[in-house]
Amino acid sequence: MKIYNLQDTVFETIGNYRFEIARSNNHQFRNKFKAISKKHKRALENKTLSTEKEDAIVCKALAGTVLVGWEMVSAVKGQKEVPYSLAEAESTLIEDEKLREEIMDVAGAHDAFLVDEEEKVKKK
């Protein structure tokens, strides 16, 4: 049994927001990353692409496939909620490297858990 469904998500509260995060190695992410990075394939293989461009490609692929939603759970005085959208997710991931790393860590742990569950099903 393979699990490639974006409904296989976890919720993680980081700061004032509760993030909905899908597994890191999901089919949608791989397809989106492949499509986005296609025109930069040679530069990626040769490691000649700037770090900023690499980050932008990864963040664009993560938005909507791994980071699939968020909601504010507690407001700081004067802070307004930023509604989730692909554009907001992408720009937030680009601007906040620490958050991006935390999202990727949660997604990786979730992926490892699902792979382990798949293995248990196969053994039965």
Q: Are 103 and 15 in contact (CB under 8 A)?
A: no
Whole-number pLDDT of residue 1? 29
For the cut 90, the answer to whether the pLDDT of residue 41 exceeds it is no
Task: Quickly count: other Cβ atoms within 10 Å of residue 43's Cβ.
Answer: 14
- Cβ atoms of residues 43 and 21 within 8 Å: no
Q: Which of 1-5, 16-20, 81-85, 120-124 has the lowest mean pLDDT?
A: 1-5
Whether residue 121 has pLDDT greater than 80? no
Q: Average pLDDT of the chain?
A: 86
Taking the domains of the chain in order of start, what are their residue ranges? Answer: 9-111
pLDDT classification of 4: cutoffs 50, 70, 90: very low
The predicted model scores a pTM of 0.82
What is the C-alpha to C-alpha distance for residues 69 and 99, in angstroms, rounded to an integer? 14
